[in-house]
Amino acid sequence: MHYKVVVFGVKDTSENIIDFIEKELCKVDLVMTIAPKVLEHNQVSGFKGLSFLTEKYGIPVFEAESYFLNDEKTKKFIEENTFDLGIVMGWQRLIPKEVLDAFKSGIYGFHGNCGYLPFGRGRSPLNWSVILGDTRFNLNLFRYDEHADSPNVFATEMFQINEHDDIRTAQYKNMICSKNLIRKLVTTYMEKGEIPIHTDSKDYDSWYNKRTAKDGKIDFKDRTRNIYNLIRGVAAPFPGAFCYAGSEDEKNKVTVWEAHPFDEMIDFSGFAPGEIVDMFDGKPIVRTVDGSIRIDRYESEAELKVGTVLL
């Protein structure tokens, strides 16, 4: 079987892009995703099964038995079929060379940062950008090779990360720019048959480290802006920022989904960093090293009240 346009994905963002391509650009001939059992050994924030797309659009959906696409079922499928263009949206693993080589026009995916590739290669770039307080994001649509985030750039679009964004709203902006870039890619593929890339970057290598759920631990001895950026950078659909009420016991865990800087002038020196100084409408006001932060939405079995120290 020959598949002209193939989408790789495992998330709700993957579904969004497939909807866009199907409705506005061309037919998607195949979706490559992972079988639900793969989640037993891989953490995938925002995972969504995509098998329903067969009924919705008539698109064949192949469920790999490995997130690394190196299981025997996937190897056999790649060997027995031919492919033209691959588009990756919501796939957080390298794609092996054997799969890359099977696509005549290449496999293209996204990576971005505040600078230009190869600056900011690595994991969770949009989360890191929010956490680090970056105010712009350069989204690159680039051709995959066997290395991570190589500067084989087809096209780039930039968007703003403002002080009101959390990771979800940043994802919305990322999706708008992704659609613009995919439109350019598919149009070029359909009209010219060849997809030009440029590899002449003058920037230097730097890397974002992998983030895990434990990296969402809040340190209230930190500056307010850093705490705020962490909370908004790991909000849903990611695991959320967290702390503990009184003692670091799992039953006292507090998952913080939304918060905002409160005040940096009121004298809270009589309270320790992390201490709840007041409560309004069920929302704790917590002292930080340089001011205070208001926790707007949280989950916890522990009761939060004035005087509780969040660790």
Task: Kindly report the CATH class assigned to 2-208.
Answer: alpha beta
279 phi, psi to nearest 5 deg: -135, 135
Q: Strand 136-143 to strand 103-113: parallel, antiparallel, or no bridges (unpaired)?
A: antiparallel
Rg (CA), the chain: 22
Nearest to 27 by CA among 73, 84, 90: 84
Cis peptide bond prior to 96, omega within 30° of 0: no
Query: Can you give the pLDDT at residue 201?
Result: 79
Enclosing H/E stretch for 207: strand 207-208
Enclosing H/E stretch for 294: strand 291-300
| CATH 3.40.50.170 location in the chain | 2-208
Residue showing tokens 């002292």: 287
What percent of the chain stands above pLDDT 70?
100
Q: Which amino acid does the sequence have at 47? A: F
Enclosing H/E stretch for 127: helix 125-131
| CATH 3.10.25.10 location in the chain | 213-300
213-300: CATH architecture:
Roll (3.10)
Structure tokens at 181: 């870039």
Over the stretch 267-305, which tens digit does the pLDDT of each residue have? 999 999 999 999 999 999 999 999 999 999 999 999 999
Over the stretch 223-272, which tens digit does the pLDDT of each residue have? 999 999 999 999 998 999 999 999 888 899 999 999 999 999 999 999 99
